[in-house]
Chains A and B, each alone.
Chain A
């Protein structure tokens, strides 16, 4: 994928299983959101192709409600209440029961009349997630859903994501390796627009050298990405310099 002369994604080949959580890991600026946007049909793909559900559909032709998402830093309508937000999805999917279902799933029944801007970050994200899964999508895309949440809200959301993966494919973009370790069945490691590794977590960890194997997903990421991440998702300076210099670790 290109934007003008800049190559945003290059040689990206990956598959996502129809069940379970696949974590899309990468530092800030790796191209995670760009890849998800292309998958959701929000950005055109300049070369190559994306197919959904065993090749039956493209990003824009999937059946209604089959693909859903919570986007990175997704905001809300001005002044809209939680009930109105839920009712919008009820109307869009022509299902009168959906409004109550979204409010119940998000546990916001008693705060339904609150305006979205008056909800906490965790409450808003719960509501958005509830709306996203209300139609029982076969593929749920979550782009950094825990950004800006407090630790308690993060833990609760991660637990929800784990449960959601039992019924469907969940593609979770994150730079938080601890968070990914708690939910991911599979990973895609993306660095500077290129896929460095893709597969089941267990199998990939098994292939790691002994020293890194014990560190689980952190060791896996460091091995394939040739980098470590700080809490904000940025690569440490040494990793960045190594990548810029074409260090062999980076192309592992």
Chain B
């Protein structure tokens, strides 16, 4: 009998048992799938008109130097994001931008806005008038509860962040305390097989959670993601779970029990969440803090989820690369350091 066959058989039994364990618990299923959806819907209703503290963002599809010069003076109150008109329209629909400026040519500058961006559009129009650029206002319809689309990447990312942080190190500590790891070390089971089974089950459940959120978003917010977006989100969540599971597992190597591990995870999660770019834009942070934030796996995960849902906004490869690096280093170190048998 081959070792690979043995390991695969054990992996399959263990992974399936862990998924079944969650499926058997009604409360666990409700929290796993229902709570994030409920939270998303609630926040979408609370911020139905967009986030009140969001800085005024303008999508700009315009190469006209006169327009750019005129708006440059507004940079203290507006943030310009150059992008094609199609992507700009999506930014409007997702309440990520208040205004879309489209220049067909120098004589035809159009300021497209929804209800929330009317004042901003009028201010920009006055600025352009003073610069000698004529423009027209065009009010466009924006989907209701559009901000849900802006919240969705963060909701998916944080689901993966916490699933990873708590999903591997803590179960391994519990199994060690109960001497299950010591017992299994007397069998042909390899530690890597056990770790992969725990990870796979957790990742599968979290990917399911993310797809459920996409389904809720499609049903309630008329935002139907493409198959590519759903696949990209699944990949981002999978890699995100691996990266945070590695961090949680690595922290489990420096503590003796689950209680202390929980304290460490809580302490680690706070800066990871706050600096992730989901609450405060990374580009608005002091430069040194922004530099730190850009290297964090939480920032990479939020960016990866955003990129997965909106491929035109940013590339998926860079944040995925950061996550893969974190996953590789932390999991490798944790596997080397974790003691199966508490001394």
Q: What is A's interface to B at a CB cutoff of 8 Å? A: 3, 37, 40-43, 64, 67-81, 84, 87-94, 115, 128
Are B341 and A92 within 8 A (Cβ)? no
A-B contact count (CB 8 A): 82
Main secondary structure of the interface of B (DSSP, over half): helix
B interface residues, how many (CB within 8 angstroms): 32
Contact present for A94 and B5 (CB under 8 Å): yes
* CB-based contact A84/B20 at 8 Å: yes
Q: Give residues 107-122 of B contacting A (CB, 8 Å).
A: none
Given contacts A76-B178, A87-B13, A94-B6, 7 further A-B contacts (CB under 8 A): A42-B185, A76-B180, A78-B171, A79-B22, A79-B25, A92-B187, A93-B6
* Residue contact A69 to B20, C-beta cutoff 8 Å: no
**B6, B17, B185, B341: the one within 8 Å of A80 (CB):** B17
For the complex, give the distance between the alpha carbons of A73 and B178 in Å: 7
Which B residues lie at the A interface, using CB under 8 A?
Answer: 1, 5-6, 9-10, 12-14, 16-18, 20-22, 24-25, 171, 174-175, 177-180, 182-183, 185-189, 341, 343
Smallest CB gap from B28: residue in A: A79
A90 to chain B: which residues have CB within 8 Å?
A: 13
**Per a CB cutoff under 8 Å, which of B9, B174, B177, B182 touches A91?**
B9
A79 B13 Cβ-Cβ under 8 A = no
A75 and B17 form a contact (CB under 8 A): no
Give the residues in chain B near A75, CB-CB below 8 Å.
Answer: 175, 177-180
A104 to B343, CA, bound (A): 35
In the assembled complex, how far is the CB of residue A97 from the closest CB belonging to chain B, in whole angstroms? 14
Contact A37:B341 (CB < 8 A) given known A74-B178, A77-B175? yes
Q: Jot down 18 A-B pairs with beta carbons below 8 A, ordered by A.
A: A40-B186, A42-B182, A43-B341, A43-B343, A69-B183, A69-B186, A70-B183, A73-B179, A77-B17, A78-B21, A79-B20, A79-B21, A84-B13, A88-B13, A91-B12, A92-B187, A93-B6, A93-B188
Q: Are A71 and B6 in contact (CB under 8 A)?
A: no
Inter-chain CA distance A84–B18, complex, in Å, is: 10
- C-alpha spacing A158/B189, complex, angstroms: 29
Which of B9, B13, B180, B186 has most A Cβ within 10 Å?
A: B186
In the complex, chain A residues whose CB is within 8 Å of the CB of B18: 79
Q: For the complex, what is the distance from the CA of A222 to the CA of B237, rounded to whole Å?
A: 63
- The reply to whether B178 and A3 contact each other, CB–CB distance below 8 Å, is no
The complex places the Cα of A21 from the Cα of B189 at a distance, in Å, of 28
Assess the B182–A71 pair: CB atoms within 8 A.
Answer: yes
User: Cβ of B341 and Cβ of A42 under 8 Å apart?
Assistant: yes
Instruction: Please indicate the chain A residues that have their CB under 8 angstroms from the CB of B178 in the complex.
Output: 73-76
Residue of B nearest to A75 (CB): B178
Measured between beta carbons, the chain B residues less than 8 angstroms from A115 are: 24
On chain B, the residues within 8 Å of A77 by CB distance are: 17, 175, 180
Q: Select which of A3, A70, A92 is within 8 A of B188 by beta carbon.
A: A92
